[in-house]
Structure 1
Amino acid sequence: MLTSRPAVFGDYPVRKDDIAGSVVCIICFFVLAVTNMTIFRRNKARGHLFVPSGAMFGLCMARIVTFSMRLAYTTHPSNVNISIASSIFIAAGVVILFVLNILFSQRVFTAQHPSRAYVGSVFFNIMRVYYFSIIAFLIVLIAATGVYYHTNATVMKGIAQFRKVAMVYFTVAAFLPILIVTAAYAIPRSEQDRTWPVHYAHWIGKYSGVYSPDLRNMPSASEFYSEIHEGDTRTPVHVIPPSDRGAREVSLVLIIVPSVLLTFATAVRTASTFRSAVEIFKPWYDYRVTMYLCIALVELSVEITWIVGRVDLRFYIPDNDKQWKKLAAAVADNEKAGVMDLDVDGETEVELERANRSSGDVEVDGKSRQG
């Protein structure tokens, strides 16, 4: 069908379709935002800080703004600023999922090869640089999108070229977790990997349902860190649960399936940046339904997969919590000084332990029981 305007990803909004579609998407992402924040706050209250849950909440909020902008664009189709804002939020939100999925795959690789991926290793530093590069590309892409319609033709051409590079880069980022987990299992484990000092959250009872970790099952800070420091000078590595607990195989599914979905969705969006700027025939990937599939449906599917699969338990590593890191440093310092009592921010380890295990617990036959 011939149209008087150039083709754009997601097509130009129309009242009949976009108002209903945007409202449904806003409601769905709002429900997931509440779910993610509930999980985050409930875990945090139990000493189980899992930052990615907060990031998943952030993605939902970004998508609520995205489809709110789509609604505004529907009612004000001639407003260029609203169109730009809508484009910016469409590009920005999904990067959160890229970063989280790469992070989860990195933790799988670290669990398989701790001698190669400990904090400060070459692999660890390469991954850190890669995370920063994704953020840098996103910032420049947002800035470029913001000035795209307010500059001369030469600059617009340069921005268009950069957008192509950025979208290809994001497509690689979406697929990268598959490569990382493949490498994790394709590379043979060395003797160092098998003997390297590692520790995981062994107090987590299960990895499904509505389970939340119980602080009464957690070791004290000194017990936890003495296990991984005692008698070994190598850098200890905190890892996700081992495969013998049946958690790691499911974790691979929680990485690979979202990676396939995100790669497909990003590839479609990337294809739209390579079409001719003056093309007036609408390609299949520029239809409205394609945008809702690649943005809303794919991202909702990924978030639901992670929530149901309990990534907050399967990919949790104990040193995520700043308090644990602070306690670890204090334990190490006090061990060197021969001091048995640990003081952190005015609280002794005994006091922290008492607070963690909560009032109302009594000890019977060596086991903690709620009174």
Structure 2
Amino acid sequence: MLGGIPSKKVDIPVTAVFLALYIVGGAIHLAIFLLNKKRGHKFLFSLFIFIFCLARIVTTSLRIATISKPTNIDLAIAASVFVAAGILILFIINLIWSQRVLRSLHPRFGWHTAISTLFRVAYVLIALTLAIVITATVQMFFTLRPRTRTIDRDLQLYAGTFFTIISFLPIPIVLIALAAPRKSKPEKFGKGRFRTKIWILLIGTTLCCLGAAFRCGTSWIKPVPLVRPMPDYYSKACFYIFVFTVEILVVYLYAIMRVDLRFHIPDGAKGPGSYEASLRVGSTSGDVEAKQAQETAAEGK
């Protein structure tokens, strides 16, 4: 098990530190969202990152409660579910921003119906896979049948692999979009230099993918019996680095670099040229892809 057997002397203080960091990070993004809302600058992703931090506040609180009461199976189930589910918000945010970069660099291709449909399918698959992994995780706590546990583990491995692929997707999308020849300059959206947007997105995606890949890789390795010494990749340090630390870095990176200004698009942007056209007429900024992702994911549940 990643992180080994929890210890009150070690895990509770460390988890409490991360709890405080998530509280501060969530407060920062909520404040950014509310301040922007007052001046008519609508950027839903700041709210989504706040929700992610809120989910992680619940996760760390449940982890502390589970360590304090290790025999409480309900707490253990809830903690396991929240650990698996929360990070998906950042994966979806990065994926949507990569779509904005693609549409900026290659408007006709990026806005094509087939490409938009592929992104919608990805959101539906994310929602369905999340439902699958939650069901498998909960069921493993209540069954001793070897066949059922094997199926549940296979479902967890599928979900971990799928989510790792999703976390990685923005990198090839952005790099291929940059490498592909284009006839015109990128359509401008948001504030700041375009290359800075690219670096922010690539760094954030790499951190998310690093954590997802490590968790996925260790889950594929055959579990080690508790009577044997835990390998280094199951250590507490690895758990806190690849689960919570990479997420905290992304949360604060996006706050410090003001993604709310850099990645916003004008309200009503739809089709090639709409980013710049809407900016010229002075429309308030919105989050078209974010709304589409929300609606599509809801349909898939």
Quickly name the TM-score band, shorter chain normalised: 0.7 to 0.9
> Residue 70 in 1 paired to residue 63 in 2?
yes
Structure whose alpha-carbon radius of gyration is higher: 1
Q: Residue 262 of structure 1 is aligned with which of 208, 220, 230?
A: 208
CA distances 1:232-284 after superposition (whole Å, capped 9, x unpaired): xxxxxxxx24xxx7521001111111222122211111122113245344222
- Mapped to 2, the partners of 1:251 and 1:135 lie a distance apart of 27
* Residues 1:195 and 1:265: Cα distance change in structure 2 (over 3 Å): closer
| Contact 2:91 2:167 (C-alpha < 8 Å) held by counterparts | yes
> Residue 51 in 1 paired to residue 38 in 2?
no
SS state at 2:80 partner = helix
What amino acid is aligned across from residue 67 of structure 1 in structure 2?
T
| Contact 1:50 1:320 (C-alpha < 8 Å) held by counterparts | no
> Residue 149 in 1 paired to residue 141 in 2?
yes
Quote the offset at 1:188 in angstroms. Answer: 1.1
> Residue 127 in 1 paired to residue 73 in 2?
no
Where structure 1 has 5 or more consecutive residues not aligned to the other structure, the ranges are: 1-7, 201-239, 329-352, 354-371
| Contact 2:192 2:262 (C-alpha < 8 Å) held by counterparts | no
Q: Residue 250 of structure 2 is aligned with which of 275, 278, 302?
A: 302
| Contact 2:94 2:205 (C-alpha < 8 Å) held by counterparts | yes
- Mapped to 2, the partners of 1:99 and 1:126 lie a distance apart of 14
Where structure 2 has 5 or more consecutive residues not aligned to the other structure, the ranges are: 275-283, 285-301
Matches within 5 A, 1:286-365: 286-319=234-267
- Mapped to 2, the partners of 1:9 and 1:276 lie a distance apart of 12
Aligned positions, number = 270
What amino acid is aligned across from residue 147 of structure 1 in structure 2?
Q
| Contact 1:10 1:286 (C-alpha < 8 Å) held by counterparts | yes
Structure 1 segments, 4+ long, off by >4 Å, are none
| Contact 1:30 1:61 (C-alpha < 8 Å) held by counterparts | yes
- Mapped to 2, the partners of 1:271 and 1:293 lie a distance apart of 15
| Contact 1:49 1:320 (C-alpha < 8 Å) held by counterparts | no
Matches within 5 A, 1:241-260: 241=190, 246-260=192-206
SS state at 2:41 partner = coil
> Residue 136 in 1 paired to residue 136 in 2?
no
1:285 aligned partner: 233
Quote the offset at 1:81 in angstroms. Answer: 2.1
1:104 aligned partner: 97
CA distances 1:313-357 after superposition (whole Å, capped 9, x unpaired): 111011279xx9xxx9xxxxxxxxxxxxxxxxxxxxxxxx9xxxx
| Contact 2:4 2:236 (C-alpha < 8 Å) held by counterparts | yes
Quote the offset at 1:44 in angstroms. Answer: 1.1
1:89 aligned partner: 82
- Mapped to 2, the partners of 1:51 and 1:162 lie a distance apart of 32
- Mapped to 1, the partners of 2:223 and 2:5 lie a distance apart of 15
| Contact 2:105 2:185 (C-alpha < 8 Å) held by counterparts | no
Tell which has more relative contact order, 1 or 2 (C-alpha 8 A, sep 6+). Answer: 2
- Mapped to 1, the partners of 2:67 and 2:115 lie a distance apart of 46
* Residues 1:320 and 1:313: Cα distance change in structure 2 (over 3 Å): farther
CA distances 1:165-221 after superposition (whole Å, capped 9, x unpaired): 11111111111111010111111114xxx399x6x6xxxxxxxxxxxxxxxxxxxxx
- Mapped to 1, the partners of 2:58 and 2:268 lie a distance apart of 29
- Mapped to 2, the partners of 1:310 and 1:299 lie a distance apart of 17
| Contact 1:104 1:315 (C-alpha < 8 Å) held by counterparts | yes
- Mapped to 2, the partners of 1:136 and 1:123 lie a distance apart of 20
- Mapped to 2, the partners of 1:86 and 1:256 lie a distance apart of 29
SS state at 2:5 partner = coil
- Mapped to 2, the partners of 1:100 and 1:85 lie a distance apart of 24
RMSD of the TM alignment (CA)? 2.3
- Mapped to 1, the partners of 2:224 and 2:207 lie a distance apart of 30
What amino acid is aligned across from residue 258 of structure 2 in structure 1?
R
- Mapped to 2, the partners of 1:18 and 1:69 lie a distance apart of 12
Q: Residue 2 of structure 2 is aligned with which of 6, 9, 13?
A: 9
2:171 aligned partner: 178
1:166 aligned partner: 159
- TM-score, scaled to structure 2: 0.84
What amino acid is aligned across from residue 268 of structure 1 in structure 2?
F
SS state at 1:150 partner = coil
What amino acid is aligned across from residue 25 of structure 2 in structure 1?
L
Quote the offset at 1:131 in angstroms. Answer: 1.8
